[in-house]
Amino acid sequence: MGGQNERHLMRGVVAGVAGGLVASWVMNVFMEQAGPKIAEAAAEVMGDQEPDAGKQRSEPSAEGEEPKQDATMKAADAIVSTVSGGRHLSMEERQKGGPVVHYAFGALMGGLYGAVAEYSTSARSAFGTTFGSTLFVGADLVAVPAFNLSGSPREAPPSTLATPFAAHLVYGAITEGVRRLVRAIL
């Protein structure tokens, strides 16, 4: 057993993927449990009227309306449409595909983090929360709107960013914790 003191790219990737998968699951639980409370508190502090961050976006928004789609559901549809030459997913398929995209992205980002963390102590700074906040900015604030998977963050009250930001901090910390545990074994 080499442990964390011996740098090894593939061990770092494996540890990061494990961390990213576990962290993606914890992030989902966090969003369901703490998300509405964080959104409400942030809206109160910032003076927003109706907090909506942390609500389950795939639930129907009103009687008879289609459920709202989150970015992962839209991404699942875009991936299938691109690969299949234009076929789009039904709402039921999008609801199943969204979590697949979420976990795949979480694992991919965890693997990338694990690789970089093998060689850079600064990547591991703040027990992974620097990574989590960087991922929040890069994915939620830049990439997701750029790929038209959501509106611009400027279109929503700033308090709606509190829950996803907190969830990404949780993701980063859990990724780092699991990465360290797995690397200690590998």
The three-point CA angle 158-161-164 to 5° equals 175
Q: Does the pLDDT value for residue 2 go beyond 90? A: no
Confidence of residue 170 (pLDDT cuts 50, 70, 90): very high
Long-range pairs, 116-119, Cβ under 8 A, ≥24: 116/12, 117/12, 117/16, 117/176, 117/179, 118/7, 118/8, 118/9, 118/11, 118/12, 119/7
Which residues does residue 21 pair with via DSSP β-bridges, in sequence order?
Answer: none
Dihedral sign, Cα of residue 98, residue 103, residue 107, residue 109: positive
Could you report the per-residue pLDDT of 66-120, keeping only the tens digit for each?
A: 678 899 999 999 999 999 999 999 999 999 999 999 999 999 999 999 999 999 9
Among 55, 70, 134, which residue's Cα sits nearest to residue 102?
70
Average pLDDT estimate for 10-23: 98
**Structure pTM?**
0.85
φ/ψ of 5, rounded to 5, equals -75, -20
Q: What is the spatial distance between Cα 69 and Cα 99, in angstroms, rounded to a whole number?
A: 12
Average pLDDT estimate for 150-174: 91
Average pLDDT estimate for 128-151: 95
Confidence of residue 3 (pLDDT cuts 50, 70, 90): low
- Tokens 């979420």 belong to 102
Q: Does the pLDDT value for residue 22 go beyond 90? A: yes
Could you report the per-residue pLDDT of 115-128, keeping only the tens digit for each?
A: 999 999 999 999 99
The pLDDT value given to residue 149: 92
